[in-house]
Amino acid sequence: MSEPIEVLITMPFPEHLTDQLAEVSPRLKITVQKATKVEDIPAELWSRVQILYTNKVVPPTDLVPRLRWIQFHWAGVDHIIDNPILHKPNLVATTLSGAAASQMAEYILMMLLALGHRLPDLIAHQQHQEWPSDRWERFSPKELRDSTVGIVGYGSIGRQVARLLHPLGAIVLASKQNAMQPEDIGYIPEGMGDPGGDFVHRLYPNQALHSMLKDCDFVVITVPKTPATTGLISEAELEVLKPSAFLIDVSRGGIVDHQALIQALKDHKIAGAALDVFPEEPLPADSPLWKLPNVIITPHISGNTPHYDERAVELFAANLQRFLSGQSLHNRISPKQGY
């Protein structure tokens, strides 16, 4: 047998999930040691580690001479993208992009339906014990069937949204960095996503975002946070939306300009929004967003699921198999691209 490969997991994975990883290969010597800072792991252990699975605990380069691969526990890595360790020679870092796609797509579908069917207004009338005389006009829905849904960032989440929308009869538009490549080359759980780009009616390059936005009844923001996407949806982008359009944001705080969004909502330049991410979290109590009647606010929980660790381990196990066989890993981070 070849020499053992030291794997350190700094997350408190239960034994049955660790056993699942150990079944990948007898070469893997897995240590699970919960840590919130580098000092929680003995220097002697750091010196042996070749594969690190971590949340946010990232050691300095000189502490991990044998480290060859870091698998992060989340899809978003904007908090770590400038860390010097990502420039360590011969080191690969990967994300969990795809592991959260299922529950986030369900959240987005929920918000599409809630906004389109006037749920905030319905609940407000329920709380006031009112049965409005103009209920047919007031609660006239914007149905998903034949509506145009624009997805800004056609990655694993956006592709699963498109899959869910397909049988509902929506027209799906999407923007992505390379619009000439409709296929998904990332991690795809079986039976999910849009591997061949078959559920999107038209792909737009990022430079043509305005052309896409002007045709949308709903806009879903799912891009990663990078220098290029920060402030991506600002006053200019909101101006081209229809007054009847709704916006759903599950990306990262700072991609949507919230000052411009608040003004657009107040001025009824767009019909409403569902927001799960904010430039400052928790959202301050004095934010005008709390009291706007055409806004649904959730506390950054669109990716929440009791099955996250299981799905994370499935992806990590797939990447372990690829690592052992010398294949390219899923979801490699590019410091240059910022994700």
73, 79, 300, 307: the active-site residue: 300
How far is residue 110's CA from residue 200's CA, in Å, rounded to a whole number?
A: 20
Q: Which secondary-structure segment (H or E) carries 248?
A: strand 246-249
Contact criterion met (CB below 8 Å) for 306 and 330? no
How far, CA to CA in Å, does 134 sit from each of 137, 139, 282?
Answer: 6, 8, 37
User: Would you state the structure tokens that stand for residue 239, as one six-digit string?
Assistant: 């101006």
Tell me the CA distances in angstroms from 73 to 70, 77, 91, one per residue in order. Answer: 10, 9, 17
* 201 carries an active-site annotation: no
46: nearest Cα among 55, 56, 27, 33: 33
- H-helix or E-strand containing 103? helix 101-116
* 232 CA to centre of own chain: 16
CA pair distance 168, 131, nearest whole angstrom? 30
Pairing between β-strand 28-32 and β-strand 51-54 as defined by DSSP bridges = unpaired
Please list the active-site residues.
Answer: 300
